[in-house]
Amino acid sequence: MYAPRIRRLTWNAAGAPRPMVGSFRVETWSSEGDPFPVEASYGDDATTFQTRNPLGVITWGAEGLYDSPAIQSDLSITLQDGLYHVTGHIRSETDLRDVALLMGNTAYNITLTQTIAQGTSVAISRPVTATYSFNGPYSNICGTTSYDYMPYSSPTLPSGSYNPVTSTGPCYLTAFIDTVPFPANDIGGVHVQESCLIYSIPCPAQPPGKVETTLENATTKTENGWVDTYTHIAYGNAPGTTFNYVMPVYLHIATIDKITVALLPAPEANILTPLKDIEEVAVWNWTTKLWMVFPPTEAETVLTGATARQAFDPQEGVRVRVAPTDNSFTVKLIITVEGTP
């Protein structure tokens, strides 16, 4: 609201008032500015606001109870052509747009469909890797549209230990509706009515039987190097770099049968023969608390049986150390596991 010519301004709004923050005299993009001198009084399910000599655009908030439109969801994780998908159906009693699934404490924000018409059911089939990491305001929770398929990438950034989602959560369905949860028919001028709905839903169940998947780099646990999670290219320095890789949160493995550590060329970084720059590869043994050292004579180091089980921790995943022959190395590092739930 902007009324620069009014000395005393009074207006009413539905709902209970929430604390207001100023929107003038803002020095930096991260500053909330100075609070406006606004008085708010609540009564008869409405709020009266009063201010004197408004100095700029006035913002305010209100809160209340609202019966959200009913939805039904039946989603699961399926394997299609070697890539995990979210599949199933979603039904809504009202028009929805930009419908997305949030898994793993919002680390996975997967756009499911652009629209769902009122009273209809929509079939869903979306790659799990079509994700967007949550970062920022509510608009990144609702309305983040990422319809590009990225089947060979790992767009999310796991920050540390592995915490699998379960059939009871935490998973959320988000969507926009073109209305607001309070009377707005008498609002004049040009305006937009829009609400962000957030539903708690059962998490998609993983497929039964044997599981084979690529682990994700836990970025905050990399020591003396870094990993480009979109290309799987790892960059390290002497005397060695330690990487941690964890399970995707939408999958669970109880028994590990096989671990493969692949050191591959990275043509995107002009690296065609990476093994010549690598002195040794070591995998951490969580049982003995010692490194298991392997010479990089082959592009793949394969661990099976008891060795594979000792190299995998349910929360910490797989820890790998790569030592260069000289000052640094660049390699496409991909770690896959096989096992049963």
DSSP secondary-structure letter at 268? G
Please classify residue 139 by burial: count the beta carbons closer than 10 Å to its beta carbon, then call 0-12 exposed, 13-18 middle and 19+ buried. Answer: exposed
Q: Are 111 and 122 in contact (CB under 8 A)?
A: no
List, in order, residues 6 or more apart from 216 with CB less than 8 Å away. 154, 156, 158, 229, 245, 246, 247, 248
Per-residue pLDDT at 48: 80
The token duo for 111 is 């756009």
Report the pLDDT value the prediction gives residue 244, as an integer from 0 to 100.
94
In angstroms, the CA 177 to CA 193 distance is 8
Q: Please give the Cα distance from 76 to 99 (Å, whole number).
A: 16
**DSSP per-residue letters across 2-24:** --TT-SEEEEEEESEEE-----B
- Identity at 331, one-letter amino acid code: V
Dig out the tokens for 304 from the structure. Answer: 């099976």
- Kindly give, in sequence order, each residue whose CB lies less than 8 Å from that of residue 112, ignoring residues fewer than 6 positions away: 86, 90, 99, 100, 101, 124, 126
Between CA 307 and CA 61 the distance in angstroms is 58
Tokens 């190395």 belong to which residue? 329
What pLDDT does 285 receive?
97
Query: Which residue from 125, 117, 122 is spatially nearest to 147, judged by alpha carbons?
Result: 125
Asked if 340 and 287 count as a contact pair (C-beta separation under 8 A), the reply is no
pTM: 0.70
Residue type, 336: T
**Residue carrying structure tokens 């549209």:** 145
| Paired tokens of 65 | 């109870």
User: According to the model, what pLDDT value does residue 127 have?
Assistant: 87
pLDDT at 106: 55
CB atoms inside a 10 Å sphere around CB 274: 22
Residue 305 CA, distance from chain mean position: 33
Phi and psi torsions of 263, nearest 5°: -110, 100
Return the pLDDT at 260. 95
Taking the C-alpha atoms of residue 201 and residue 68, their distance in angstroms, rounded to an integer, is 14
pLDDT of residue 47: 77
CA–CA distance, 152 with 303 (Å, rounded to integer): 23
Mean pLDDT by 10 residues, the chain (341 residues): 73 65 50 62 76 69 74 92 90 92 73 92 85 49 53 40 54 87 67 83 88 87 90 93 90 92 90 90 96 88 95 93 93 94 86
pLDDT score, position 237: 94
